Amino acid sequence: MFFNAEDDILEIVKNTGFSIFVLQNFPEYSKPNILALKPDEKTKKINIDSIRELLTHASSKKTSDQFFIVYYPEKMSAEASNAFLKNLEEPKDNYHFIFFTKDLSMILPTILSRAQIFIEDIQNKLDSPIEASDEIKNFAKRLIVSTEKNLPMLAKEISDKKDRSFTLEIISTAIEMSYKTFFLTNDVKFLKKLPNLIELYQNINANGNIKLHIIADMI
Single out the residue of 47, 49, 40, 51 nearest to residue 84, CA to CA: 51
Helix 188-205 vs helix 134-145: angle between axes, to the nearest 10 degrees? 110
- Return the higher-pLDDT residue of 216 and 189: 216
Alpha carbon distance 22, 178 (integer Å)? 16
- Of 71-75, 119-123, 161-165, 202-206, where does the model show the most confidence? 71-75
What lies within 8 Å, CB to CB, of 16 at 6+ separation is: 96, 116
Whole-model pTM above 0.85? no
Q: In this model, does residue 145 exceed pLDDT 90? A: yes
- The 10s digit of each residue's pLDDT in 49-108 is 999 999 998 888 788 999 999 999 999 998 999 999 988 877 678 889 999 998 877 787
What number does CATH give the domain 2-123? 3.40.50.300
Q: In this model, does residue 124 exceed pLDDT 60? A: no
Average pLDDT value for the chain: 86
Q: In this model, does residue 123 exceed pLDDT 50? A: no
Task: Delimit the domains of the chain by residue range.
Answer: 2-123, 134-218
Question: How many C-beta neighbours within 10 Å does residue 147 have?
Answer: 9
**Percentage of the chain modeled with pLDDT above 90:** 47
CA 100 to each of CA 36, 71, 95: distance values in angstroms, whole numbers, following the listed order: 10, 5, 17
Q: Are 200 and 155 in contact (CB under 8 A)?
A: no
